[in-house]
Amino acid sequence: MSDEVSIYGIEEYPNASSVLCRFIHHARKHCQTIEDFYPILKINEFLNDEQEVWEERLNDSGTQGDYKAVQEVVQPFINDSRWPKLAIDSLQQGFSSQALKIALFYRLDVI
C-alpha cells in the first residue's frame, strides 16, 4: 500500500457518486452541527462548480443519473432552514470560518 497522497479530487474516484450518496444518507442521521453540515455544503459547491466534470462522466453509460442522484440527496440539506439560523447563532458566539462560509452561502447579513 502506498503512502502517497493523490493529487486528484473526488472526480477521479471511480465510484464518486455512490460514495457521496452514501455519505449524505449517513449524514441524515448524524448531521446536527455547523461542522457536520459544512462537508455537505462543500459537496453542493462541488456539484455546482464541477458541472463539466459531471457532464463528461454522464456521457459514460455506466454513470447515467449519478449527478442527479447526488443532487437529489443533497438538496434537502441545502433547503433546510436550520442551517442559516445555526450559522448566525454560531457567529454570534464567536468567529467560525465554517459558519461564516455557510452564512455567506445563504447570503445572510454577517455584519
- Output b/e per residue, 11-31; b: 16+ Cβ within 10 A: eeeeebbeebbeebeebeeeb
What pLDDT is attached to residue 2?
46
Contact 34, 87 (CB under 8 A): yes
Q: What is the pTM of this model?
A: 0.77
26-67 pLDDT per residue, tens: 998 899 999 999 999 998 988 887 666 666 655 554 455 677
Q: Which three cell numbers stand for residue 12?
A: 477521479
Cα gap 27→41, rounded to integer Å: 12
